[in-house]
Amino acid sequence: KLIQEIKHVQEELQKLREQEHQLIVERDKWQATLMEQEQILKEEQAKVNDLQQQIIVLENDKRLGEQEREELNGQ
């Protein structure tokens, strides 16, 4: 009876080890996905920053153009 119990405990331990391994594999997969998504987010944030800079430049150009037009109209 004790031998059966030991066998049963060993089988349960083996199942738990397999589950642990599967969970580790799954965790690693999710971590890789998270890292990819973080990289994509950084790239998209950089694009947004570039667009914001372009908008600032265009707004400045527009303002300068309006000033020049006002000066020409005023002469």
Residue 74 has pLDDT above 90, yes or no: no
Residue 50 has pLDDT above 80, yes or no: yes
50/29 Cα distance (integer angstroms): 32
Q: At 30, is the pLDDT very low, low, confident or very high (cuts 50, 70, 90)?
A: very high
Q: What is the pTM of this model?
A: 0.65
Q: Which residues of 52-70 are buried (b: 16+ CB within 10 A; e: fewer)?
A: eeeeeeeeeeeeeeeeeee
Query: Taking CA 63 as the corner, what is the angle to CA 58 and CA 69, rounded to the nearest 5 degrees?
Result: 125
User: Can you give the pLDDT at residue 12?
Assistant: 98
